[in-house]
A = this chain, B = another copy of it.
């Protein structure tokens, strides 16, 4: 059964995808859910709280998707690569969800923070596995996670606003850049790296 709260939440998600956070007006949300224009206030404190709930829901979905990708991967390094590529595909398809999720959570003692922490740990863990197998040069796992996450995040953000696909020669989409960084992180002797380099 779909509770009123759920139908409000899914209406908000729908509007978010179509028109971004500014397009998520409480009036439109209520209308889609078949309610009066201020019924949402009975379920969420205000617009910000509604968007935070949408973010929390999407974040949990992403965490499950990441776990599924990890489960299917052959080796730790390709698992890492698939994880990032999958993240890129999701972000390019749902740009407003991507930007919403990476906004500020400070004000919400919700499960939003812990859901994010869980997916982050999953990511750090998969780096730790690749490193302990000697597929990545020595270093701090948290630090390497921050490096790879920052690159992925920045490449996506730039690509979404059309600041990456500019040129013909050094054509660089987010997935290419992620591969570049993973190659840099892999030990110099790695045959996979040599193969990539020679292309």
Are A158 and B167 closer than 8 Å at their CB atoms? no
Given A167-B142, A170-B141, verify A102-B157 contact (CB < 8 Å): yes
- What number of copies of this chain does the assembly contain? 2
Interface of chain A residues 158 through 199 with chain B (CB within 8 A): 158, 161-164, 166-167, 169-170, 172, 174, 176-177, 180-181, 184-185, 188
A158→B164 contact, CB < 8 A: no
Candidate in A103, A172, A185 with the most chain B CB atoms within 10 angstroms: A172
Q: Is A153 an interface residue (CB 8 A)?
A: yes
Contact B103 A143 (CB under 8 A): no
Known: A140-B169, A153-B157, A157-B154. A180 touches B102 (CB 8 A): no
User: Which residues of chain A from 95 to 114 have a CB within 8 Å of any chain B CB?
Assistant: 102-106
Interface size on A, residues (CB 8 A): 43
A155 to B164, CA, bound (A): 16
Q: Do residues A155 and B150 form an inter-chain contact, with CB atoms below 8 A?
A: yes
